[in-house]
Chains A and B, each alone.
Chain A
Amino acid sequence: MRQTLTQELGNLIERGRDRQLRLAVTGLSRAGKTAFLTSLVNQLRHAGLEAHLDLMPAAREGRLLGARRVSQPDLGVPRFPYDQGMAALDAEPPHWPDPTRSISELRLSVRYRPARRGLLRSETAELSLDLFDYPGEWLLDLPLLDQEYPGWSRNMLAGAGEQRRALLAEWESVAAKLDPAAEANEAELAAIATLYARSLQAAREAGFANLQPGRFLLPGDLEGAPVLQFFPLPAIADADPATLAKLPRESVYATLAARFRHYQQHVVRPFYRDHFRRFDRQIVLVDVLGALSAGPERFEDLSRALATLMQSFDYGKRSLLSRLFAPRIDRLALAATKADHVTPEQHANLTALLEALLAEPLQDLRYANIPVKALSLASIRATEAHQVDHQGQRTPALRGTTLAGETVLVFPGEVPAKLPGHEFWARQGFDFRAFRPAPREGSVLPHIRLDVALDWLIGDKLK
């Protein structure tokens, strides 16, 4: 206890001096959080030596000396598996780091030479950067905190499109027969909840993103507990809240509502309180290409999921007081990941499409006067950009190895600058292939524009 108090105090002093940043790496599952963090650690560790961080002024001017992993503040949380990630990339054949199944944390101490030497400044300075990784599925639970069971139940069923409804049909046919006023039958509820979880899994396989509750997809140690046995009730869609509130405690409705509240209070809130409340900077990673390949309905779904998600963060200007006691995000980067899966001249379109996808939250951020930068990046570049002469024309192309291990030279297709209309989807659609990481040459990972993102997120503290 005493140790934590000292640590808290140390943190507080560091924060007061503005020498500590907490970076929120936000992204739904498969957006590339783990790859981003692995690459970020790798680049910062090799900064000043062989890392290519030329678009980051501090590194370009030779002032960034490198970074070291230091012991993290919260000893109860596992360390971010950087070495495992690197091992995966070094394997024969190389593969992407395994999806994150639980939460992990990492503190980096970034050392740099200040640009201006003052009386009070020493020759080198340090910035501690707190990062952490978590399963993207859990992130989807954050918007649950502001909702009540009946409202959530309605939201879950109302926003669904055609394809998603088809996936939920089996569960819905059973759940619709359930009478909210009837006495709850444990076994029956568990069976329906399993069915619900299975249809959520199926929806995720099909590429949908806005799936709540997130623990149904990745229960961790809560597997089989009654707290994970609830689901939206179709029968209460247009019921009067007052009559619902009067239902007895043993009724189906009251049982489900109680489990929802328990889930909210004991699963989501600690996660939010311990990890999501205090951030200074945020990067939102979005797999735009994946959503584009999956079709318009999933694209909309992703847009909705991200919009609700970003409401869970506090944005605002920082001051000394807010830095110490109520940290707020004062700078934000939106990144379309996997930019190496398209040819370089499409990167501008990719960024434009990302802005279109996040149009709703962007308006709020502009209103709050938060600086936002949208960019396209590839944390770990898996392909090489080339040009080929095809039918008398010079066409850009990518050389890479697909997940199946086949080496291809391909022009992956153009990315639209805005979401195309329905006729286009019916006619053509998109199909961006996934590539596996290239075998590593040298100790530093190749990347696209990770240096720009880093500069935007922490560059102003390295002055």
Chain B
Amino acid sequence: MSDLPRQTQGDDPQPARHFPLDEADAPDPASPRPRLDFDSQLPTQQLAEESPSRAERDLEASLGRPRKRRWGLLALLGGGIGLGTAELALRLPETLLGGDWLSGGWQLLGLGAIALGAAALVREAWRLRRLKRHDTLRSQLACLPQADTAAALNLARSLKRQLGLDDDHPHWQAFLAACEPHHGGDEVQHLLAHHLLTPRDREAQRLISRMAGETAVMVAVSPLTLVDMALVAWRNLAMIDRICRLYGLELGYASRLRLLRNVLYNMAFAGATEMVSDAGVELLSLNLAGRLSARAGQGMGVGLLTARLGLRTQRLTRPLVFGDSEAPRMADLRHELWQQLRHLDEPRKQSK
């Protein structure tokens, strides 16, 4: 070892260095903060809930429904209607006095049209309000298990009003007889589901099965694609309306859209299967019996889809959400449907 001071290389360990003492005291902003002692009697606050970060807020704002009102268009429309009404109303006596019967008639017609439109708007607003009330009830019923007895009974009463039952209705009376003051929210929910909703569930089930069967039969016997599609649209819409009326609840806007999409899908299916079965029959040149069976198969498919739509409507409109095991299943309906179609198919086969 030489005792000459060596030239330090880049990766050699650094030699010791000394610094003046006061230089070390400069606090590093990145170092952990030292302990702070507080007086234990000092009043404290709960930790505030973490406020959402800026990025989250931005995201929320961008994801939220765009609330763009077309004020200009609305103003034009409102102004046009208002001024038009005013003009029509003001000029009406003048024209009538002037004896110009034709333009007077036109003015009256215009006023009538405006009145009709206004009435329709008011009715729509009224229905929207009712829809909103229904939605509120549904979300309140969803929290029924957490409610105490008095609140649960109040909810039960509003459900009764919703379903259009009067105080003497046997179902409501049976519910009142079963309810006891010590029952909590979840127990009241069970009783409500059994006494008020189960009879309506059964009725809805019957309705679905009947309408699905009818649609299936009609589709099976109808010869034309267009007729099939129209039939399916008509029957499906009628079914949705009747199920809704059964539960006293009208559909929310979004759920109605979703259901309508289902209706359209069903119609498309009816159209497509019609063409496929026609093409298939012609290609394979099957006899009439085979053709009938293919039609029955098509009817079955449409019927099943209708039944599924019915069940979905039922799920969406029922004031209380179905429990795990009580939701109706397709399997129960499928059998009935097939029975109906078989009855239809058999005599034809025999006559053949």
Contacts and interface: CB of A to CB of B under 8 A. Distances in A.
A291 B82 CA distance: 77
B185 to A, nearest CB: 10
A385 B181 contact: yes
10 contacts: A54-B178, A55-B191, A60-B178, A344-B181, A345-B148, A347-B182, A347-B184, A385-B182, A449-B182, A452-B187
Contact of A55 (B148, B149, B181, B190): B190
A463 to B, nearest CB: 10
A321 to B, nearest CB: 28
Nearest to B180: A52
A348 interface: yes
Given A54-B191, A60-B194, A345 B149 contact: yes
Interface in A404-451: 448-449
Interface string A103-128: 00000000000000000000000000
Interface in A47-90: 52, 54-55, 57, 60-61
A448 B182 CA distance: 7
Contacts of B149: 344-345
A52 B184 contact: no
Nearest to B146: A348
Interface string B174-202: 00001011111001001100100000000
Given A52-B180, A55-B183, 12 more contacts: A55-B187, A57-B194, A60-B178, A60-B194, A340-B182, A344-B149, A344-B184, A347-B184, A384-B181, A385-B182, A448-B180, A448-B182
Interface string B216-227: 000000000000
A424 B194 CA distance: 44
Contacts of B191: 54-55
Contacts of B187: 55, 449, 452
Interface of B: 148-149, 178, 180-184, 187, 190-191, 194
Q: Which 4 A-B pairs have the closest CB atoms?
A: A54-B178, A344-B182, A385-B181, A448-B182
Interface residues of A, number: 18
Nearest to A340: B182
B184 to A, nearest CB: 7
Contacts of A344: 149, 181-184
Nearest to A377: B182
Contacts of B148: 345
A385 B149 CA distance: 11
A381 B180 CA distance: 12
A448 B184 CA distance: 11
A271 to B, nearest CB: 36
Contacts of A57: 194
A175 to B, nearest CB: 48
Given A345-B148, A345-B149, A52 B181 contact: no
A225 to B, nearest CB: 47
Interface string A186-212: 000000000000000000000000000
A348 B187 CA distance: 12
Contacts of A54: 178, 191, 194
A230 B181 CA distance: 52
A280 B178 CA distance: 30
Interface in A312-362: 339-340, 344-345, 347-348
Contacts of A348: 184
Nearest to B175: A54
A325 to B, nearest CB: 31
Nearest to A381: B182
A449 B183 CA distance: 8
A339 B183 CA distance: 12
Contacts of B184: 344, 347-348
Nearest to B326: A57
A385 B148 CA distance: 14
A57 B325 CA distance: 12
Contacts of B194: 54, 57, 60-61
A384 B180 CA distance: 10
A340 B182 CA distance: 9
Contacts of B181: 344, 384-385
A184 B182 CA distance: 60
B178 A52 contact: yes
A432 to B, nearest CB: 16
Contacts of B182: 339-340, 344, 347, 381, 385, 448-449
A61 B178 CA distance: 12
A348 B186 CA distance: 11
B222 to A, nearest CB: 36
Contacts of A55: 183, 187, 190-191
A167 to B, nearest CB: 37
B192 to A, nearest CB: 11
A375 B306 CA distance: 43
Contacts of A345: 148-149
Contacts of A52: 178, 180
B156 to A, nearest CB: 14
A54 B174 CA distance: 10
Most buried by A among B180, B187, B194: B180
Contacts of A385: 181-182
B343 to A, nearest CB: 23
A350 to B, nearest CB: 11
A60 B313 CA distance: 27
A372 to B, nearest CB: 17
